[in-house]
A = this chain, B = another copy of it.
Amino acid sequence: VNEFSKWWVNGAPGDSISIRDRGLTYGDGLFETIAVRDGNPRFLDYHIDRLFDSCKRLDIPCPTDISDQVREIVAGCTFGTAKIILTRGIGARTYAPPEKPTPTRIIGLTKAQPPPRAVYAAGVKARSCQATVSINHTLAGMKLLGRLEQVMARSEWKDAQIREGLMRSDDGRIICGTMTNVFFVSNGNLSTPDLSRCGINGVMRRVVMEQAPKCSLDCVEVDIHAKDLREADEIFLTNSLIGIWPVSQLDEAELAIGPVTRRLMTELVNVGVAECAI
C-alpha cells in the first residue's frame, strides 16, 4: 500500500535503471518528495526551485520540462505522493563527472492515505537518535540521494507509537528529524536550526518561515543545543507530506501543543495544507 504504483524513467513507463547509473554507484543525484492533492502537486514550484538550485551547485543539467512531466503523471490522483529522482546519468568508473552528462529522470506516483487525525490534534511522540547528521558545508541543504544517516537513525526504534526521531549534527547541534525539519518556540519566539553546515532545506520549512510573519512571528535560523531543546515551550515538525506535526512528547519530556504551533497550522491550512486543520 505504501509502494509507488506508477513510474516513468526518462519520459517512458519503466521501473529499472542501469547498474552503471551514477545515482546508484556514487549517490550522484537528488530527489524530491511531493504531496499530491486533488490532481495537483503541492508547492511544486518550491520543489522545482530547490531541485534547480541543487542542480546548479552540482553542475547537473536539469530538464526544464520536469514540472510538466510531474503535472502530467499526477493528474487524476486525489491523494498521493510523487517522487522525482534526478541523477547525473550513466558514467564511466571514475568519480570525474562526464563532460556532457545525460541525466536520468525518474518520476513516480503512489496513492496514499491521509495520516490519522490524532497526530495533528494530539501531537506525536518523538525520540532522540544516536546516528548523527554529517557536517559538510559544501553539500549542506540539498536533498541528495545519499541518506544513509537518516536510514540509520530511523532504524533505532520499532515502536510504531514513536513517529519521529531527532538527529544531531556530528558536533552535537540539533538539526532535524529523520524525515522532517524541526522548529522550536521559546517565550513566544520561533527558531529553527541553521542549515549552513548540514541538514536539508525542506520545502515545508520554507513555507512555514514564509507564513510566520502573518502570525507576527519572525523565525530565526540559529544553532540549537540540547539546552535550547529542554527550554522549548513548543516543538513542531514539518515536511512536504505532513505539513506540521506538533510534538507532544520528546523522550521522557511532555509538551503542550501551544498557541504558536496552532496559529501556524491554521496558516498552513490557508495555503493549501488542509490536513493541518484541527
Contacts and interface: CB of A to CB of B under 8 A. Distances in A.
A18 B16 contact: yes
B135 A131 contact: no
Interface in A122-140: 130-139
A20 B148 CA distance: 15
A-side interface size class: 35 or more
B16 A151 contact: no
A135 B134 contact: yes
Contacts of A145: 24-27, 146, 148
B2 A92 contact: yes
A95 B154 contact: yes
A34 interface: no
A132 B135 CA distance: 9
Interface of A: 2-4, 7, 9, 14-28, 31, 33, 58-59, 81, 83, 85, 87-88, 92-97, 106, 108, 110, 130-139, 144-155, 170-171, 178-179, 197
